Amino acid sequence: MKSRATFLGHSIHQMLIVFPLGLLGTAAVFDLIHLGAGAPGLAEAAFWMIAAGIITGAVAAVFGWIDWTAIPSGTRAWSVGLTHGLGNAVVLVLFAVSWWLRRDHPAEPGTVPVVLSVAGLALALVTGWLGGELVDRLGVGVEEGAHLNAPNSLSGRPAMDRGHFPPPATGV
């Protein structure tokens, strides 16, 4: 099922999710290092990474919602997408509360904001797996007819067009 929101032939949501996942995940790791080693610079970096991760997560969520509304209700993909989206909303809330609690002292966040960021990361690992399930197993955001020799998305040809490539091997 091809993504509803695309840019240059690719799913916008799939392009954007790397930012919040990387920013928020790294912020949680920096928080843990800060707790263990007392590195205030890493805690302050985590503060700004959380802010950027929340913003990029909200933008990615808009495009994820656009794609989810195209999935037929009553399907496993619709249910997995709903759980994925709601779970990611909770991830953003956990990080937003963590950010809010540390705003007055970003270099010394205390334990609760760190626990919230680590909990957010743990949940993001689950919701990220659900996103992978949507794409890799259920084919959401994958162009119909996609194959290993599909033409470039900028070519204007459908993915199922084999052009000059031979048909796939059927034997072992």
Q: What is the pTM of this model?
A: 0.88
Residue listed under structure tokens 């996103």:
131
- List, for residues 140-156, the tens digit of each pLDDT value: 988 888 878 888 888 88
Q: What is the pLDDT of residue 165?
A: 60
- List, for residues 18-48, the tens digit of each pLDDT value: 999 999 999 999 999 999 998 999 999 999 9
Give the chain's count of helices (H) and strands (E).
Answer: 5, 2
- List, for residues 67-103, the tens digit of each pLDDT value: 999 999 999 999 999 999 999 999 999 999 999 999 9
Closest CA to 27 of 98, 104, 126: 98
Closest CA to 84 of 10, 9, 17: 17
Q: What is the pLDDT of residue 172?
A: 63
- Please tell me the distance from the alpha carbon of residue 6 to that of residue 168, in angstroms, as a whole number: 28
Closest CA to 92 of 63, 61, 47: 61
Closest CA to 82 of 69, 91, 94: 69
| Crossing angle for the helix pair 111-132 and 76-102, to the nearest 10 degrees | 160
